């Protein structure tokens, strides 16, 4: 019985080429003759190479799968400074492979679609909020206009009352007026 792999989880041609290249370079570096190379160095090179391959094909075992040096070090089971100070060639190779893989359009098909879907949902929500705020702004403008009209009408009424009062000769003080009668 043959099983077919899910195409969404299979690495694309770009990732596979980058992984193959990493495998070849890693093997060449692991088996290169060097006076100062130890079996531990060869094991580190092999661990880094395997980690590069796993990250590039999207199958991390020990990291979050991001294509960054910290994730590569975690995936290889090494400290980051081993990559940044000792195995700088592998670090540079990793950066170059990541750059080449990220240049492939649609590399993260599902992730790109999910991000696009979320952006569309966010855009629709923001547009709905904008439209609601427009309606509220128009309502507020109408309320302000009505209040201005009422204020103007009250100011006119107040002015008419002040003129009427001035025409009568002032306000009679009722307290004094009553006091004056009783005496």
The pLDDT tens digits along the chain (183 residues) read 444 444 444 556 556 666 777 777 666 665 655 556 678 887 888 888 888 888 888 888 888 888 888 988 898 898 888 888 888 888 888 888 888 777 665 555 677 778 889 999 999 999 999 999 999 999 999 999 999 999 999 999 999 988 888 887 766 666 666 555 544
Largest CA distance in the chain: 130
What is the per-residue pLDDT for 101? Answer: 74
Question: What is the pLDDT, as a whole number, of residue 8?
Answer: 46
- Element at 70 (helix H, strand E): helix 69-76
Supply the pTM of this predicted model: 0.46
Work out the number of other CB atoms within 10 angstroms of the CB of residue 73.
Answer: 23
User: Which whole-number Å values give the CA distances from 160 to 102, 105, 167, in the listed order?
Assistant: 79, 77, 11
Helices first, then strands: H and E counts in the chain:
7, 0
* Structure confidence at residue 103 (pLDDT): 65
The neighbour count for residue 78, using CB atoms within 10 Å, is 17
């Amino acid at each position: 019985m043959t099983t077919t792999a899910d195409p969404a989880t299979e690495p694309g041609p770009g990732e596979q080429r980058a992984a193959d290249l990493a495998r070849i370079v890693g093997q060449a570096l692991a088996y290169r003759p060097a006076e100062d190379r130890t079996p531990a160095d060869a094991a580190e090179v092999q661990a880094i190479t395997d980690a590069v391959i796993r990250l590039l094909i999207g199958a991390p075992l020990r990291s979050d799968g991001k294509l960054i040096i910290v994730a590569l070090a975690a995936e290889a089971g090494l400290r980051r400074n081993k990559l940044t100070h000792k195995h700088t060639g592998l670090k540079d190779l990793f950066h170059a492979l990541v750059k080449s893989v990220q240049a492939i359009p649609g590399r993260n098909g599902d992730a790109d679609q999910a991000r696009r879907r979320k952006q569309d949902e966010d855009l629709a929500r923001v547009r709905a909020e904008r439209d609601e705020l427009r309606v509220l702004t128009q309502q507020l403008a109408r309320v302000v206009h009505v209040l201005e009209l009422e204020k103007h009408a009250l100011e006119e009424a107040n002015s008419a009352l002040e003129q009427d009062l001035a025409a009568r000769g002032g306000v009679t003080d009722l307290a004094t007026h009553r006091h004056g009668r009783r005496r």
